[in-house]
Structure 1
C-alpha cells in the first residue's frame, strides 16, 4: 500500500543561503501529479542556528523545530518526531530525508512514494555534486568518477553509498530500529545498518539522484564536505577512510 502521507526532514545549521533553494525544490516535488491525494509536510530542524535559517524556513511555510546540540542525528530525529506528531503516528507515513544544501529532483517524492507502494521499507539514493560558485572547477567530475567506480556497465547499480540527502524510510520501520542514532556524523549510515540488521527491505538505487552542494567548508567535520575538500586539494583521505580502490568507505560521506 502506498503511503497516505509524506514528511520531508531537513536538518539545517546556519543554512540561510542555501536553504531557500532546497525548500523550493521540495515544494516542486510535492506538487507532482502522482501525489495529488497525498499529504506532504516539510520539517526543518534548525540546529544551533545563529543566522536567518529559521526565518528562511518560516517564510517558506514549512514547520520548524529548533535544536541546539550541533548534532545532525539529533536534529534529523527531532524533525522525524515532529512529523510523527503532526501526521498522527506512523501508520501510512513515509519519512523522506534530504539536506539544506541539496536540491531534490521534481520526481523525488513521487519516486519514493512509488517504491514504498512496491513494499520497500527504505530507499537509499545517490547524490551528484552541483556545478556552481561553491564548487571548484573539475571537482564534480572528479567526484563522480570515483563515486561511480563500482557501477556495472549494464543492469541496476546496487551502490554502496548512504546519504542523508537522499534517503527515505517507512515510519513504522524507522520506529522499530529506534530512528536516527544521536550521533554528530553518519547518522544516516547508522539508520540504514539498523534497518538491514532487522531484516527490513532496503532498496539501493541510483535512479533518482539528489544534487548536493560542492562547498568545501562542511557543516559536519569528517563528512561528505571533507571528502570533497580532499579531492579538490588532490590529497588522499586518511588511510582508514579509503577502500583499496581509493573510494571513501561507507562511513565517511554524508
Structure 2
C-alpha cells in the first residue's frame, strides 16, 4: 500500500462467525477499543459475516450496533471473501481480518498503520497469544511455546490476525473457497506475486484455547492434536 493512500485510508474489519454467542461480544468490544485509538483521519468499521448461525450471535451483533451480512456457506474461505468484498464495495482500502473467538489488542490497528507508513507494506501477518492454558496439560503449553516464534520476521499465518490492502487482495483473486488453510493459500499468492509482506509480532491478537474446532485443521484442531499427544 502506497503511503500516498494514507490520507484516504478506510479500514474494513471482517469477522466471520458461526454460532459464536459465547465470544462475539468480547471480540466486538475489543475491536471498538482498537478503533478509538486511531487518529480521526482514519476511518474503520467492523463487519460480521454470520455463517449459518442458529444461536444468539445475530442478536448480540445487533445489540452492539455492528454492521453484518448473513450467508450459509459453512466454508471459511467463502465467508471471509464475501465479507471482504462487501467491505471493499463500501470503500475499504485496507482489510483487517480476525475471528469471533479472538480479542484484538488496543493497538492492533495502530500498529498496522505504523507498518504501512514505515514500510509501504501490502500485507501484515500478525501473531496470536493463547487466552487460557488452565484446561490444557503443562506439556502442551511447553510444546506450543517451543514451536511458536513470537518475534518480528516470524512465519506464522493466522486468519485471526491477517491484514492487507484491498487493491492487492483483488489483484490476487481473494480468499479461495477453502474450508481450512484459506489464509495460507492467500499469503502464498501474495508471495508468488511479489507483494510486500510484513511478519509482525507488534500486531497482536489473543485467541481462544478451545478445542472444539470450527475448522477441521484450524488453530483449535492444532491445539487439540498437541493435547492428544500429551495425554
TM over 0.5: yes
Is 2:133–2:141's contact at 8 Å kept on the other side of the alignment? no
Is 1:103–1:211's contact at 8 Å kept on the other side of the alignment? yes
Find out whether 1:186 has 2:181 as its counterpart: yes
Match of 2:132 in 1: 131
Between stretches 221-230 and 169-178, larger displacement belongs to 221-230
- Aligned-partner Cα distance in 1 for 2:137–2:23: 20
Match of 1:59 in 2: 63
- Following TM superposition, the consecutive aligned residue runs of length 4 or more in structure 1 with deviations greater than 3 angstroms are 137-142
Is 1:116–1:170's contact at 8 Å kept on the other side of the alignment? no
Cα shift at 1:141: 4.5
Give 3-state SS (helix, strand or coil) of 2:229's partner. coil
Aligned residues between the structures: 224
Cα shift at 1:143: 1.7
Question: Which of 55, 76, 79 is the equivalent residue of 1:75?
Answer: 79
Is the helix fraction higher in 1 or 2? 2
Give 3-state SS (helix, strand or coil) of 1:219's partner. coil
Give 3-state SS (helix, strand or coil) of 1:162's partner. coil
Cα shift at 1:140: 4.2
Is the strand fraction higher in 1 or 2? 2
Aligned counterparts, 1:10-49, within 5 A: 10-32=15-37, 34-49=38-53
Question: Which segments of 5 or more consecutive residues in structure 1 lack a partner in the other structure?
Answer: 237-254
Question: Which segments of 5 or more consecutive residues in structure 2 lack a partner in the other structure?
Answer: none
* Two-structure CA RMSD over aligned residues (Å): 1.8
Between stretches 212-221 and 135-144, larger displacement belongs to 135-144
Find out whether 1:116 has 2:106 as its counterpart: no
- Aligned-partner Cα distance in 1 for 2:152–2:110: 20
Cα offsets for 1:38-73 (capped at 9, x unmatched)? 111111111111111111112111111111010000
Give 3-state SS (helix, strand or coil) of 1:59's partner. helix
Alignment TM-score, normalising by the size of structure 1:
0.83
Cα shift at 1:132: 6.3
Alignment TM-score, normalising by the size of structure 2:
0.91
Match of 2:221 in 1: 226
